[in-house]
Amino acid sequence: MPAYRRMGPDEEVGQRGPTRPAPAPVHHEALPRQERGVPGDRFPAERRRERSLEGLEELTREAETLLERLGLHYRRLRLATGDLGQSGAMTYDLEVWAPGVGAWLEVSSCTTFTDYQARRANIRFRRAQSEKPEFVHTLNGSGLALPRVMAAVLETYQNEDGSVSLPEVLHSYVGMDRLGPPV
């Protein structure tokens, strides 16, 4: 089930790090979030970190699939350790190309925290009733930042006359294949 977090006026979709400037601000945005726990009961403790990284790949791939269906040019960036927050073990940022501003805009961020968040929140499970509790691994992924995705769609598919040819995947949702003045 997705969770939503309202961003404050001083918050940013992406975080500024020592090796990366912060992206253009998008304020007061309701970001859909996806939180997951790695199902530890099916995996031995020594395989849980590997499964956590596999879960991160799955979470990131879901966001990439949406961008591919929209036909947008995007890239996946693995954040450097110095750019990670204290709790993150590994993070991927997804950025789309916005031709109108000639820049890459961050639209999603997916992170594995291994067992850091679970230890702080005391989220544990038992493999069997007789065994001691173990901490789960947690994953977090933001949904696509709608204002930036829409800007990229409008800029990518804009025609010479100023109209916008919508990606085919949107036709049934919007009820048209083109935005602009009637022809």
Query: Which residue range is the domain that position 127 belongs to?
Result: 3-7+32-145
Task: Give the distance, in angstroms, between the CA of residue 120 and the centroid of all CA atoms in the same chain.
Answer: 23
Residue 78 lies in a domain: yes
Q: Is residue 24 part of a domain?
A: no
Strands (E), the chain: 3-6, 30-38, 74-78, 90-98, 103-112, 124-125, 134-135, 137-142, 164-165, 178-179
The verdict on residue 120 lying in a domain is: yes
Q: Is 167 domain-assigned?
A: no
* Tens-digit pLDDT string for the chain (183 aa): 344 344 444 444 444 444 444 445 554 345 556 666 665 555 566 677 788 888 899 999 999 999 999 999 999 999 998 888 888 889 999 999 999 889 999 999 999 988 888 888 998 888 788 988 888 888 888 889 999 999 999 999 999 999 999 999 999 999 999 999 776
Q: Does residue 177 lie in a domain region?
A: no
Q: Is residue 98 part of a domain?
A: yes
Phi, psi of 8 (to 5 degrees): -80, 170
The dihedrals phi and psi of 64, each to the nearest 5 degrees, come to -60, -40
Residue 105: give its domain's CATH number.
Answer: 3.30.930.10
92 assigned to some structural domain:
yes
pTM of the model: 0.75
The tens digit of pLDDT for each residue in 96-126 reads 999 988 999 999 999 998 888 888 899 888 8
Overall number of domains in the chain: 1
pLDDT digits (tens, 9 = 90+) for 152-161: 999 999 999 9
